[in-house]
Amino acid sequence: MGRYERITVTPEVASKLLQHNETNRTIRPTWVNKYAKDMQEGRWVRNGETITLIERSDGTKRLLNGQHRLQAVTQSGCTIDFDFYIADPSEDEDLIFTTADGGAKRSFEDVVRGRLDDFGTLADIPPRLINDAVRTIMVADIQIPEGKAEYLLPSNERKMQIAVEHLDEVEWIAEIIRDYKKAMGHHLPIGARAALLKAYRFDANLAMTFTQRLIDGALLTPGNPIHTLRAELIRGMAPGTKLSQIPYWYQMASRAWNHYVSGRTAFMLRPGKAMINPIAPPTTGTGTNGTVDTYLEEEAEEMRIAARSKR
């Protein structure tokens, strides 16, 4: 019969254990990066899950699960205590390997349902919307570039920490996600939500007015940047033509906001060369780099593009 042991695993110990990693599944760097980040930032905790090792009758050993955790130790440089199950030769090695990690993963929404007390008065918000709100906060804060999907895969504990630290933003984002979907029939892209959140942090009242007009379309006329953004969202999110790239919608919403706070019209919007453009302050006619000249150059270029499209 096997035995349970708690072992302090240094990067050196982890490297030695990984030498016994035979015919295991392919390492997933995204998960290693996530685990390593949690270890470095002090969020890694023991939760009863074991690393399984079998000692064969011929003296050799085989690591049956835990390779991502051990790889994360070597990558992070941290020393972590792990609970091990060390199987003996009498046990069915292949059966243990086949059934390891076979349970259903606990999603963030599952975690939220089990920890509603952490959300106080927001406990009635559906966990799905809380998850979408947390992802929006991460995009707004981290400025995710293309090809960096691992930033959208934080641990459940990290996502809980973000949610609890930003309860007011979670409530607002969840509200606009729900109201926009009800009014428009499609989801507000996460890039656009992140831009609206940046605006909300700068001027909450102005951002709430901007967002409400985006949702209900009231009092909007052609040339109003909110009207133009709304039309772009209807076109871009139509069935079969969805444009879901985070940088694209972040940039489009940012440009609409820049025009709006500057009091300028915008009959068309286009994403700039930069992946993600900062929200402009509500001052007179500033461009993406904060100068009046750049703003006027951008306006002139947009007018030239519009004129060519009518030919």
- What was the pLDDT predicted at 290? 39
Q: Across residues 256-267, what is the average pLDDT?
A: 91
215, pLDDT greater than 70: yes
- What was the pLDDT predicted at 303? 47
306, pLDDT greater than 60: no
Q: Across residues 93-100, what is the average pLDDT?
A: 77
d(CA 233, CA 216): 13
User: Among residues of the chain, what percentage have pLDDT more than 70?
Assistant: 78
Q: For the chain, how long is the longest CA-to-CA vector?
A: 82
Name the CA dihedral angle for 85, 86, 90, 96, rounded to a multiple of 10 degrees: 50
Q: Across residues 76-86, what is the average pLDDT?
A: 95
pLDDT grade for 291, boundaries at 50, 70 and 90? very low
Place of tokens 């998960």: 31
d(CA 302, CA 158): 42
Please tell me the pTM assigned to this model. Answer: 0.63
- What was the pLDDT predicted at 285? 40
Domains of the chain: 3-99 (3.90.1530.10), 108-309 (no CATH)
**Residue 8: in which H helix or E strand, if any?**
strand 3-9
**Alpha-carbon Rg of the chain, whole angstroms?**
25
pLDDT grade for 212, boundaries at 50, 70 and 90? very high
Q: Residue 190 in 3-state DSSP? A: helix
- The token pair that represents 75 in the structure block: 């990558």
CA distances from 186 to 22, 28, 127, 129, 146 (A): 47, 33, 19, 15, 23
DSSP state of 280: P
Q: Across residues 69-88, what is the average pLDDT?
A: 95
d(CA 153, CA 162): 13
Q: What is the mean pLDDT of the chain?
A: 81
**Residues 160 and 133 sit within 8 Å (Cβ to Cβ):** no
DSSP state of 185: S
Q: Across residues 141-152, what is the average pLDDT?
A: 52
157, pLDDT greater than 90: no
Q: Across residues 181-198, what is the average pLDDT?
A: 94
pLDDT grade for 102, boundaries at 50, 70 and 90? low
d(CA 287, CA 3): 66
The alpha-helical segments, DSSP class H, found in the chain are 11-18, 29-40, 67-76, 93-99, 108-114, 127-142, 156-165, 167-184, 190-202, 204-216, 225-236, 246-262, 292-309
d(CA 244, CA 286): 28
Q: In what order do the strands lie in the sheet with 50-55?
A: 3-9, 80-87, 50-55, 61-63
Nearest to 286 by CA among 261, 251, 268, 253: 261
d(CA 218, CA 189): 21
